[in-house]
Amino acid sequence: MFSTKLLKLAEKVVTVCEKNNLRLATAESCTGGLISGCITAVSGASIILHCGFVTYTNQSKIKLLGVPANILAKHGAVSEIVAKSMANGAINSSDADISVAVTGIAGPKGGTKDKPVGLVHLSAARKDCKTLHERHLFDGDREAIRLQSVKTAFRLLLKQVVY
């Protein structure tokens, strides 16, 4: 289901989180659960994966992750502030120590001049640490954009662990 390279990266996330006693929560929009799906493809993932939120709609972002409705209305779901709010909300809504969030436009529809297809915002949060954020404009079709988002989410998580 996932490439060997992506699974190796997921294994590294599991190993590093286990070594640092960190429980992980995911907050996914455009990836629709692929991040937690890839993590659970790793044997032993249950040691670190606490939960995953798939919040595809604005209403679910508000209800499950506590993203403020006024932020969504002002900035839209695909924005830095919403990605950060999702990441922090995943920790606040669970017993996790660290989280990763992704929100973007995977296409082929939904893009605009200001927010084109391939635009993805990712954030990683950790208790008592600064929330990290990255903005990317990925190329390719829907599947390629989503898989690049998963890979980038793992790399951002690893940065947050060593931050």
pLDDT, one tens digit per residue, over 113-149 is 999 999 999 999 999 999 999 999 999 999 999 999 9
What would the two tokens of residue 127 be?
Answer: 């208790």
The domain locations on the chain are: 4-162
**Rounded to whole angstroms, how far apart are CA atoms 105 and 5?**
24
DSSP secondary structure of 79-110: SHHHHHHHHHHHHHTSS-SEEEEEEE--SSS-
Question: The domain at 4-162 falls in which architecture?
Answer: Alpha-Beta Complex (3.90)
List per-residue pLDDT tens for the chain, 163 residues long: 899 999 999 999 999 999 999 999 999 999 999 999 999 999 999 999 999 999 999 999 999 999 999 999 999 999 999 999 999 999 999 999 999 999 999 999 999 999 999 999 999 999 999 999 999 999 999 999 999 999 999 999 999 998 7
Tokens 């798939």 locate to: 54
Give yes or no for a contact between 74 and 67, defined as CB atoms under 8 angstroms apart: no
Q: Are strands 98-104 and 24-28 parallel, antiparallel or unpaired?
A: parallel
Q: In terms of pTM, does the model score above 0.75?
A: yes
pLDDT at 1: 86
